[in-house]
């Protein structure tokens, strides 16, 4: 196979070679972030190493509705075998149109979550507990902490299967359905939590008028998905403050988004 093309950790190539043999897969193209293969029956597929911990559970639960089909999984080796989809995602689509497409996809993805998944309410408690003293505008930090406390005890915070990182590069065209989600990092949570990645990705495109661009995306996705505007806004603010506190390189972007959705 030649090089570490899927994930850069010792033994990745060995794992790929082992699974090719064990699952009787035939390489079928140049590897990129995944390995194109053919199954024993000749079906085009991709082998992915380094899957998120619960990725296989989410894909199994979706049964191919709105997401790529899971053909086989080995959670102990962080490996999944997936149906092959086309590489041209939503990155080249007009961003507002792309947000509408993703918002429409939410309806198929946000089904009742399997009980094995971590709960969003627990994540909220853990992450907001680290915000004290964050080098961010005090008003935003206080707002995020208050939102976190409210969401942590809100009955609507848990229960639905969330992707959590559904942005333009994680929605690809398929043959069975026009658009399919890939690479979930799933939680049991609130669908309104999903919006933020569509606002902070493709950031350079918003340089001319950040406020207008952020708000156009925000309203496009919540309208397409039928989400509650206030609840979606609160989750965007909370996610942006948490991310800014964790990743200094994202401070300017996240503060701009949090302010834009509230103006």
Query: Which tens digits make up the pLDDT trace of 84-127?
Result: 999 988 999 999 999 999 999 999 999 999 999 999 999 999 99
User: Per the structure block, which two tokens stand in for 222?
Assistant: 């919540």
What is the b/e burial string over 6-27, where b = at least 16 CB atoms within 10 angstroms of the residue's CB?
A: beeeeebbebbeebbeebebee
Instruction: Give the tens place of pLDDT for each residue, 168-183.
Output: 999 999 999 999 999 9
Instruction: Give the tens place of pLDDT for each residue, 138-158.
Output: 999 999 999 999 999 999 999
Q: Closest Cα to residue 116, out of 50, 49, 58?
A: 58
Quickly tell me which residue has 């639905």 as its tokens. 160
- Would you say residue 9 has pLDDT above 50? no
Looking at 31, 61, 83, which one is the last position of a domain? 83
Say if residue 141 is in the same domain as residue 166: yes
Q: What is the pTM (predicted TM-score) of this model? A: 0.93
- Would you say residue 6 has pLDDT above 70? no
- The number of distinct structural domains making up the chain is 2
- Would you say residue 241 has pLDDT above 90? yes
* pLDDT the model gives residue 12: 64
Query: Does the residue 36 lie in any domain?
Result: yes
Phi and psi for 248 in degrees, rounded to 5? -55, -30
Domain limits for position 31: 12-83
- Give 32 or 238, the one with higher predicted confidence: 238
Task: Kindly report the CATH number assigned to the domain that includes residue 212.
Answer: 3.90.1200.10
Looking at 57, 83, 109, which one is the last position of a domain? 83
- Cα 17–20–21 angle (5° rounding)? 90
Query: Does the residue 4 lie in any domain?
Result: no
pLDDT band of residue 14 (cuts 50, 70, 90) is confident
The helix, strand and coil proportions of the chain, stated in percent and rounded to the nearest 5, come to 50, 15, 35
Say if residue 69 is in the same domain as residue 185: no
- Would you say residue 7 has pLDDT above 90? no
Query: Does the residue 47 lie in any domain?
Result: yes
Say if residue 165 is in the same domain as residue 121: yes
Looking at 83, 109, 137, which one is the last position of a domain? 83
Catalytic residue, candidates 158, 165, 190, 234: 165
Separation of alpha carbons 253 and 257, rounded Å? 6
Say if residue 148 is in the same domain as residue 20: no
Catalytic status, residue 234:
no
Separation of alpha carbons 89 and 63, rounded Å? 21
Query: Does the residue 178 lie in any domain?
Result: yes
Say if residue 71 is in the same domain as residue 108: no
Share of the chain above pLDDT 70, in %: 95
Residues 256, 221, 229, 63: is their CA dihedral positive or negative? negative
């Amino acid at each position: 196979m030649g090089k570490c093309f899927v994930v850069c950790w010792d033994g990745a190539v060995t794992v790929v070679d082992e699974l090719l043999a064990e699952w009787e897969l035939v390489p079928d193209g140049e590897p990129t972030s995944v390995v194109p293969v053919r199954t024993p029956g000749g079906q085009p597929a991709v082998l992915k190493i380094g899957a998120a911990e619960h990725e296989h559970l989410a894909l199994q639960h979706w049964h191919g509705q709105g997401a790529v089909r899971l053909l086989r999984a080995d959670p102990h080796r962080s490996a999944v075998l997936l149906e092959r989809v086309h590489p041209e995602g939503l990155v080249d689509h007009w961003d507002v149109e792309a947000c509408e497409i993703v918002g429409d996809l939410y309806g198929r993805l946000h089904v009742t979550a399997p009980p094995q998944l971590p709960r969003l309410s627990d994540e909220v408690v853990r992450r907001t507990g680290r915000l004290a003293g964050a080098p961010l505008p005090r008003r935003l930090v206080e707002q995020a902490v208050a939102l976190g406390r409210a969401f942590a005890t809100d009955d609507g915070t848990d229960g639905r299967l969330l992707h959590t990182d559904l942005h333009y590069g994680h929605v690809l065209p398929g043959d069975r359905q026009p658009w399919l989600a890939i690479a979930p990092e799933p939680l049991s949570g609130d669908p309104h939590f999903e919006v933020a990645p569509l606002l902070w990705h493709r950031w350079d495109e918003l340089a001319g008028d950040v406020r207008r661009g952020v708000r156009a995306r925000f309203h496009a996705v919540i309208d397409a998905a039928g989400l509650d505007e206030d609840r979606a806004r609160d989750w965007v603010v909370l996610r942006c403050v948490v991310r800014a506190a964790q990743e200094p390189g994202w401070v300017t972007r996240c503060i701009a988004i949090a302010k834009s959705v509230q103006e």
